[in-house]
Every structure is written in C-alpha cells, then in structure tokens.
Chains A and B, each alone.
Chain A
Amino acid sequence: MASDATTPTKIKKLSPGELQILWADGHETRHLAPLLRGLCPCASCQDEMTGKRVILPLHIPDSLEFKKIELVGQYAVHFEFSDNHGTGIYSFEYLRELCRCPLCAR
C-alpha cells in the first residue's frame, strides 16, 4: 500500500546501467540494471505459482544496460534491458524492497 517510503518523487538514469530513485520519505536508492534484470518479477523469470526464480542475478552479465524506462500507470516502472527483455512490471514497493544501500541491507 502506498506510503512515503514507497512513493518515488524522482526517478533518474545516472548512467546507462545505473538508476537513482528518490523517495518521498527522503531515502535514496541506486539500482544497477543487471541486478534489476536478474530479479525481474515477470512470469518467465520466476515461476508464477511457486515464486521460484528461474533467472537469477548471477545469470546476467555486469555490462547490461537500461534500454527504456517508463512509468506504468501510477504504481510501477517498466524497464526494457539491453538483452531485449522487457516484460517485468516493477511496482514501487518492489523497487524499494530491493534497495541495497547500507541502511536497508542491514
């Protein structure tokens, strides 16, 4: 459910492979394209019924980049990556959950 922690105020591509998200609670998240690609929530990357991952970050080359970034309605972000995969819809909640900054990783 929507809260400041899961409401982005700004989504910025810092480099071809790095994304910055600023959240309404003041937090900052940086996401690398290979990690997001490896944790793609679409039905071909993770089993629809069991949730078991088919694709893992270790399958993805470090050189992977973002090809296209766009908002989905007002609840998620859609990415197309340089390997032409683009079926995942990343909800704001998921993007915050994936934050790997020292504070969140603890």
Chain B
Amino acid sequence: MAIWNREKDGPVTEAKVLDVLKRVQDPDLRKDIVSLGFIRNLKVDGGNVAFDLNLTTPACPVKDQMRDEAVALVKGLAGVQNVDVNMTAEVRSTPQMDRTALKGVKNIIAVGSGKGGVGKSTIAVNIAASLAAEGTAVGLLDGDIYGPTMPIMLGIDQPPKSINNRMIPQESAGLRFMSMGLLVKSDQPLIWRGPMAHRALQQCLFDVEWGNLDYLVVDLPPGTGDIHLTLAQQVPLTGAVIVSTPQDVGLRISMKTLRMFQQTRVPILGIVENMSYYICPHCNSRDYIFGEGGAKRAATELEIPFLGEVPLDLAIRQQSDAGAPIVVSRPESESAKTLREISRRVAAQVSIRAFSTLPVLEVE
C-alpha cells in the first residue's frame, strides 16, 4: 500500500477512484469500464471504497480478471485501506428488440450448421443450459420443425398448457423451451410445404409466453431454408453460432450457412467445433478422428471468433439421450467445463452486439 500523506495527496475522492478505474478495459468491448457505465453505487468513506461492477452478463468469461484489476488499481491509490467490490450483471438488449412482438426477450441466438448430424442440437441445449446455470433467464426454441429433438434431450414430451391462446413453454434444466415435438407425437412425421413450416415457426416464436428472457437460443434445422429466412426476416437476430465438425467436407458446407447469415446480415458470433477428438475411455489418449484444427483454421481465415472444441464424449451423448444436458447432470466433467467455457464466449460476443446499432427508422 502506498504511503499516504494527507497534506500532499489530499483525501480519497470519487473522482480519483473513477480516474484509476478508467485504466481497466473490458477486453471484449474494448472500452474502459467507467465509460461503459459498469461502475455503480460508488461510495468513498475515508479510506474505504465500495462500488458495484455491473457487467453485461453474469457469464462474462473475464469477470474475475476485471474485478482483480479494479481492486488492485483502487488499492494503489494513496489513502485507500479497503476496497469492496460487489459483482452484479445486467444483460443488455440487442438494439430494436423492443420494437418486435418479442418485447420481453433481450437477445436471440441462432444455432445453425451446414448439414445434419454435427451435434447442433446437443451444442444448442448445452449452451442454453450453461447460460441458465450462470443465473440468466434462458429460453430454447427447437426450430427443427421436421425433426425436433429437444423433448428427448430435455426429458419432457408433454404438450404445453395454454392460457388465453398463448402456449406456456415447458421447463427443464433451468430453462424454458418450446418444440414442435411437444405438439406432435414423436413417431408422427410432419409432411409440410414451406409456408406451413414458416407459420409453425412463427407460432413457436410469437404465440409462446416466453416472459422476460436474457437469451433465447434457437436451434435451427440443418442447411439453409425456410426456417432460416423466416427467422432472419422476422426478428433482429443478435447473432448466429455455427456448429461444424473438423472435417473439411463438413466445414465447406458450414460455409454456406455462414454466407446465408452474412447475406441477411446476421452477425456471426463464432464457430463451435464439435466431435473434435475422441478420448479413449480405456487409455485416455486423444484421437483426432476427423482431422485436427479444421474449424479453428477456417475461423481464423474468415476472421470470426472461434468458440471452442467439444470432444466426442460418450457421456455427452448418454446424458442427452437421458433427457438431461451434461452441463447440468455432470457439471464436474471435462466436457461440461468445455461447454460452459464456450457458452461464456457466446455471452461475451452477445454483449458486444448489444453495443452495435441498427438504422433509425423515422417513418411516422
């Protein structure tokens, strides 16, 4: 602690505290925490300093780092004896979300892939459950109208109740979810043309009583089609997460999905590589069955964030089939930790988007 000379340095003031806190940068938003308005309820009482550090998400991947930095800097001020930081968070809303029919939803995250079978739904449900485990309000919409899997992965297949013609989402793993699979018997196929699928997605989106949500995760069907266009046109999507396997073929097809999002100006939050490697349950050695680092290279080339690698892990599949996402049912496992990390990176990217802008419309 610095030696304090009251005559020379004068008392600790709020201005002095804010001045040193300006040196703490949010690495994602690339601005200092004072300009970003993160410092709230600053109190200076002699040598005691207390304030709230109000972040843009409780799932912030660098919150400990920012807190430690802030504490160290304020403690370095002459005359400061105690620093008390209260960590809070308030998820910011994507611009103009309040102008849509989904007023209570702050951010919509689409999860897509180029082809089927890359584990997109598994990643989507685990990202959603992870964000919920961080203490945020999360909804999950199974956008795969034709092949809904969420009822299996979340262990509920009872039809939703409805009040005043609005469906009440089912709850499982700490989140609210809606799926076509809740409305149609699981062995009954939906044989629909595009306009029907469009209408069904609209209903699952707008006719559901989501309540207030920090994040609504939408698990898209594979490829690029009606559902994707409906979503990109009906709501200002916060962004899209692309799931891919490391294999080149899988990746090239993912590029199509990526371009579709770019054409409709849906920001890309990043790529998740699934089935990155296989851990042998007997000897614990890693096998890169589909090649190593494919998605990471593509992400670097395309200058989009790489969100992480998820291994081919028997436990992930077993927990999904048993109706409880691994991040909830086995939170201590390596795979769960990896998925939690990925979801924090997604949350960080969403926070960046909340500070972006859409055109102002003055047409009345």
A residues bordering B, Cβ < 8 Å? 1-2, 7-13, 66, 69-76, 89, 92
Contacts and interface: CB of A to CB of B under 8 A. Distances in A.
Contacts of A2: 262, 265
Interface stretch (B149-157, B203-211, B234-242): B234-242
A29 to B, nearest CB: 12
Interface in B228-283: 232-237, 262-266
Nearest to A69: B363
B363 A72 contact: no
30 contacts: A1-B262, A1-B263, A2-B262, A7-B359, A9-B357, A9-B359, A9-B360, A10-B359, A11-B360, A12-B363, A13-B362, A66-B363, A69-B361, A69-B363, A70-B361, A71-B236, A71-B361, A73-B233, A73-B234, A73-B237, A73-B266, A74-B237, A74-B264, A74-B265, A75-B232, A75-B263, A75-B265, A75-B266, A76-B233, A76-B264
Contacts of A71: 96, 236, 358-359, 361
Contacts of B233: 72-73, 76, 89
A11 B363 contact: yes
Contacts of A72: 233
Interface of B: 96, 232-237, 262-266, 357-364
Q: Helix, strand, loop or mixed for chain B's interface?
A: loop
Q: Helix, strand, loop or mixed for chain A's interface?
A: strand
A12 B362 contact: yes
A74 B232 CA distance: 8
Nearest to B264: A75
Given A8-B359, A71-B236, A75-B232, 4 more contacts: A12-B362, A12-B363, A73-B232, A89-B233
Nearest to A12: B362
Nearest to A20: B362
A12 to B, nearest CB: 4
A2 B263 CA distance: 8
A1 B258 CA distance: 12
The 6 closest A-B pairs by CB, nearest first: A75-B265, A8-B359, A12-B362, A69-B363, A13-B363, A73-B232
Contacts of A12: 362-363
A2 B357 CA distance: 13
A33 to B, nearest CB: 12
B310 to A, nearest CB: 29
B359 A73 contact: no
B361 A73 contact: no
A74 B363 contact: no
Contact of B362 (A10, A70, A89): A10
Contacts of A73: 232-237, 264-266
